[in-house]
Chains A and B, each alone.
Chain A
């Protein structure tokens, strides 16, 4: 139901993002999705990748502040309105979405997100029969 997400704390300074990407490249780690927003104070670079554990160790060893966490991932048909349906289920249950990003993989839409109530989110995903994906399946699609 969840996949590992690698979060990297990057200073808002030219060259820091490249440093992270170069390290992952040298370790032969493939990016599946990544996102960073343009806040002034902190840059958190969030990454879904092949071999998240090894990616985490690689960055740690290079002295980079990183964190490994679990985020929900659900798969949706690539049709209009699917994302709205999925999010409505959480909204109706009173669950807040802390952040979300999405991408296409093998013709399917993937939503990755964190909620303020993971326990309840789990229940909703099962009750509403949302097509959640485990890490192995996600990496297999990549």
Chain B
């Protein structure tokens, strides 16, 4: 294949390491200067005794303190803005389920560059103008919707913004419109196949699907192969997070061996989550990202809490942008279910509002038939001989949990003393999902 046919941005994608690092330093210095317009970073730099001039090399990045999700919460909504608010054209917000939501701001430049990054990812796995791209992500505040939408349009594909849910309708779109590429979370891809089978649709024979973009949910290579076999597609792993725009941060190339992280957008560090020191090359640690191509709300050394490592060696695809291994988990206790991020504390907060319930609870995650399920077992304080009461209580707890975590768990009330007594650090989550990392 000719050079320009393999890469959407050949001049950026095939940069050599020295070229990448030169660009990174230039953009980092620019970013740090812009950060001085944000009250938050002004104060951070002052406290650390730093000025923008302190950053003379990429190694100097390590002098800068980390930024955390807590910082975003504490300076909600606009405290990290590095441009006047009238320059901001969009904001995305987390659902705020763990307390104060976090907000990410974008200028028009940021949105353009975000779309370019997503377009680059999609082009990398062979999608072109002429493809029909269906997106089963939720739209609105969730970045997987608009993020892929603008990226796919940037590439000139015909886009089908199907959004989440209604599986039969998704399948009708796939067959009627001749969808060739689909973005879905891995567990939903399995669900689509099940329903296709029920409807008597053979994905290989009856659809034009050939590319699947999967992400937002930890999955193993085995799970990917299963999805590929079921649907007759190639499936590529996508990594993004709302704090870094959303999708388009890192993406697999056709080699399907690690996700190239776009180093013209981000500086990557892998640190030990306890000591916060860099880990030796190739070892697993927490992913820390610095945005170097964002105007409205640059983030310096943002702790993502995702655990991964940099794959050693060169990639045969010709891109020198570092490759991230599959996410190996989290350095906090966040769970990812059906693509939704959930913290145990959210569940605990709801349970503790019910005076009928005791303090002991256990969250169990399973994935029978490719669907993630959550079971919440909780002890009942006082027992009354009344099925109606128990049923209504179960319903009320289920409804409140659903409102909080956006997923309907199975709630099971247990007699007092049924759950193992917790000593030391409580084990609140049992993840029994198979084929996961």
Contacts and interface: CB of A to CB of B under 8 A. Distances in A.
B328 interface: no
Interface residues of B, number: 16
B414 interface: yes
A10 B383 contact: no
B387 A7 contact: no
The CB with the most chain B CB atoms within 10 A, among A11, A63, A65, A67, is that of A65
Interface in A60-97: 63-67, 69
B384 interface: yes
Interface string A30-49: 00000000010110101000
Given A9-B380, A41-B394, A69 B415 contact: no
A63 B386 CA distance: 20
A5 interface: yes
A42 B385 contact: no
Interface in A1-44: 5, 7, 9-11, 39, 41-42, 44
A67 B415 CA distance: 12
Contact of B383 (A63, A66, A99): A66
Given A9-B380, A65-B380, A44 B385 contact: yes
B390 interface: yes
Given A11-B418, A41-B394, A67 B383 contact: yes
Contacts of A66: 383
Contact of B387 (A11, A39, A64, A65): A39
Contacts of A9: 380, 383, 415
B417 A67 contact: no
B433 interface: no
B385 A11 contact: no
B413 interface: yes
Contact of A41 (B386, B388, B413): B413
A46 B387 CA distance: 12
Nearest to B417: A63
Interface residues of A, number: 18
Interface in B338-388: 380, 383-388
Contacts of B384: 67
A7 B418 contact: no
Contacts of A7: 383, 385
A10 B415 CA distance: 7
A5 B394 contact: no
A69 B388 CA distance: 16
Contact of A46 (B385, B412, B416): B385
B375 to A, nearest CB: 11
A42 B416 contact: no
Nearest to A46: B385
A7 B390 CA distance: 14
B417 to A, nearest CB: 5
B416 A11 contact: no
A41 B412 CA distance: 6
A96 to B, nearest CB: 11
Interface in B388-419: 388, 390, 394, 412-418
B414 A11 contact: yes
B386 to A, nearest CB: 8
26 contacts: A5-B385, A7-B383, A7-B385, A9-B380, A9-B383, A11-B414, A11-B415, A11-B418, A41-B390, A41-B394, A41-B413, A42-B387, A44-B385, A44-B387, A46-B385, A63-B416, A63-B417, A64-B415, A65-B380, A65-B383, A65-B416, A67-B384, A67-B385, A69-B385, A98-B386, A99-B387
Given A41-B390, A41-B413, A63-B416, 7 more contacts: A10-B415, A42-B390, A44-B385, A64-B415, A65-B417, A67-B383, A67-B385
Which 4 residue pairs are nearest across A and B when measured between Cβ atoms? A7-B385, A65-B415, A65-B383, A9-B415
